[in-house]
């Protein structure tokens, strides 16, 4: 893999910190990360980029070559497409394949959906930008196939960028795109039987990606039945995302921690409800997108020369100017850098010389910096700003004065046979450097208790969802909604090691 202009190498960049990763599930066991995304700085220009480093050995061992090639080919074809992450160059070392990508400074959209300030104006703004991005992707005869809030990134101006094209499909230019888009009735019987069997396997908690492409909460009914993916498959996911934006992060077909077999059944039966006070125009748009028959989804029959005009013309977008939406100021611009501020880690330790490249020495420096929380190093002015912005998070009311929220997310807390949905908060009282791990009943909006956090606390991840917290008197059985059990364990143990000696 070579650069599209002058040839680059990892020695042309300083690797600053880890900002993301992708893992492989094999035989029900979560393997190591096959690709890690780093924030990097160009040695010559000092510009910042996101660089995905893909482990060659693991890619070959797990036979993921097609995943990597698919993403590269799609991104090359989508060069200069508005609303899509840009692949700037590719190169390789003995150990890694590297993708140099535009850096989405303000993290993922899903981090913001639960904020109280994500109102109808925000829903319209980001729904319009996402539609423009989807239009551009489909005009290039590409189907994304894994649209979800976690793959929608926000740049330094809080504009939306679609990322992660590893599951995408590029349609042949010679293919009759209309036939490819709408030919969903000629299913291969054997393929359908395999998918039905795979759904049964999912009920037995086997790898969710074994039977289909995409994420369970956003996969379309026809894909579950074994049909080919087509443009309307992305429109179904688009309807799910618009619903979730308006419902403050609540997925339309349940929660990400719910049994996937149940989620599949809900999708196939179109079993969903709207919360009280759900905007009527959004409701109508969602209902027209979430159709079992892909041909009946709003926009599915639009001609390519005026693709998705029927969606643009929906009354929900009556106040939106699609021609200028990407030049308009984001309604969330005041939260610029908010994600970085709440998850701030030292990029480097003091007096550490930054050497370019991604060798053992650089990896050691990055991992060491990941272990150093910088709340104690923040200036009084930065702390004041942090706490002011933190009040915009719904769960901040459960924090004490000068308590810093390090990580939060929905989990299932199991006690006996009944799992309880809880919001888990990992926080630190800056005045006393005392960590706390508390859990909230989100429906009743009350604090239910705390998990003891001291030097004896031990975290044990079982897979990408499930983890245990061992305390002297009890073992807590938890399931992460976001599938980030490893990140929970890492965050808890970092706090324990630093503040519970």
Determine how β-strand 160-162 pairs with β-strand 48-55.
Answer: unpaired
The number of beta carbons lying within 10 Å of the beta carbon of residue 336 is: 17
Beta bridge partners of 478: 413, 467
Judge contact between 62 and 24, C-beta under 8 A.
yes
Strand ranges of the sheet holding 96-101, from the earlier edge strand across to the other edge: 13-26, 29-42, 48-55, 96-101, 87-92
Judge contact between 7 and 91, C-beta under 8 A.
yes
CA 222, distance to chain mean position in Å, is: 23
Distances (CA, A) of 333 to 118, 160, 388: 12, 12, 15
What are the tokens at 60? 């070959």
* Active site residue ranges: 146
The three-state DSSP-derived secondary structure of 224-292 is: HCCCCCCHHHHHHHHHHHHHHHHCCCCCCCCCCCCCHHHHHHHHHCCCCCCCCCCCHHHHHHHHHHCCC
Residue 341: which of 288, 384, 281 has the closest Cα? Answer: 384
> What's the angle, vertex CA 17, arms to CA 384 and CA 77, rounded to 5?
115
What are the tokens at 345? 């880690």
Collapsed DSSP state (helix, strand, coil) of residue 13:
strand
From CA 482, how far away is CA 455, in angstroms rounded? 27
What are the tokens at 6? 């002058």
What burial class does residue 174 get, using C-beta atoms within 10 Å of its C-beta: 0-12 exposed, 13-18 middle, 19+ buried? exposed
From CA 257, how far away is CA 273, in angstroms rounded? 18
Beta bridge partners of 468: 460, 477
Judge contact between 250 and 421, C-beta under 8 A.
no
Determine how β-strand 160-162 pairs with β-strand 29-42.
Answer: unpaired
């Amino acid at each position: 893999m070579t650069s599209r202009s002058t040839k680059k190498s990892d020695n042309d960049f300083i690797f600053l910190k880890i900002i993301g990763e992708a893992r492989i599930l094999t035989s029900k066991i979560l393997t190591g990360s096959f690709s890690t995304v780093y924030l990097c700085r160009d040695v010559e220009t000092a510009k910042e980029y996101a660089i995905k480093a893909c482990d060659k050995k693991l890619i070959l061992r797990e036979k993921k070559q097609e995943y990597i090639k698919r993403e590269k080919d799609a991104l090359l074809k989508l060069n200069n497409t508005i609303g899509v992450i840009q692949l700037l160059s590719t190169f390789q070392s003995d150990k890694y394949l590297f993708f140099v990508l535009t850096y989405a400074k303000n993290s993922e959209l899903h981090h913001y959906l639960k904020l109280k300030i994500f109102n109808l104006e925000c829903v319209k703004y980001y729904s319009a930008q996402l539609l423009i991005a989807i239009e551009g992707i489909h005009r290039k005869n590409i189907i994304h196939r894994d649209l979800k809030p976690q793959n929608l990134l926000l740049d330094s101006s809080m504009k939306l960028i679609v990322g992660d094209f590893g599951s995408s499909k590029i349609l042949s230019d010679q293919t009759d795109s209309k036939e490819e888009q709408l030919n969903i009735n000629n299913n291969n019987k054997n393929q359908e039987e395999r998918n039905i069997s795979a759904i049964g396997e999912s009920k037995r908690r086997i790898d969710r990606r074994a039977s289909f492409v995409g994420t369970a909460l956003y996969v379309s009914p026809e894909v579950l039945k074994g049909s080919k993916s087509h443009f309307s498959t992305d429109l179904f996911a688009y309807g799910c995302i618009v619903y979730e934006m308006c419902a403050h992060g609540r997925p339309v077909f349940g929660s990400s921690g719910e049994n996937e077999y149940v989620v599949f059944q809900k999708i196939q039966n179109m079993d969903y409800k709207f919360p009280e006070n759900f905007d009527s125009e959004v409701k109508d748009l969602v209902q027209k997108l979430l159709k079992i028959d892909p041909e009946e989804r709003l926009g599915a029959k639009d001609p390519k020369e005026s693709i998705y005009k029927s969606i643009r013309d929906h009354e929900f977008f009556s106040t939106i100017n699609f021609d200028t939406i990407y030049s308009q100021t984001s309604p969330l611009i005041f939260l610029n850098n908010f994600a970085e501020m709440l998850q701030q880690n030292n990029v480097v330790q003091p007096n550490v010389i930054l050497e370019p490249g991604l060798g053992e020495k650089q990896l050691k420096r990055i991992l060491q910096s990941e272990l150093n929380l910088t709340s104690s190093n923040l200036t009084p002015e930065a702390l004041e700003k942090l706490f002011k912005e933190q009040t915009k998070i719904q769960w901040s009311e459960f924090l004490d004065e000068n308590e810093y929220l390090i990580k939060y997310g929905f989990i299932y807390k199991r006690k006996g046979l009944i799992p309880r949905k809880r919001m888990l908060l990992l926080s630190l009282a800056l005045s006393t450097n005392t960590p706390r791990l508390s859990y909230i009943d989100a429906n009743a909006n009350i604090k239910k208790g705390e998990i003891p956090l001291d030097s004896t606390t031990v975290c044990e991840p079982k897979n990408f969802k499930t983890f245990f917290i061992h305390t002297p008197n009890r073992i807590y059985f938890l399931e992460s909604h976001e599938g980030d059990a490893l990140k929970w364990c890492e965050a808890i143990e970092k706090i324990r090691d630093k503040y519970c000696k």
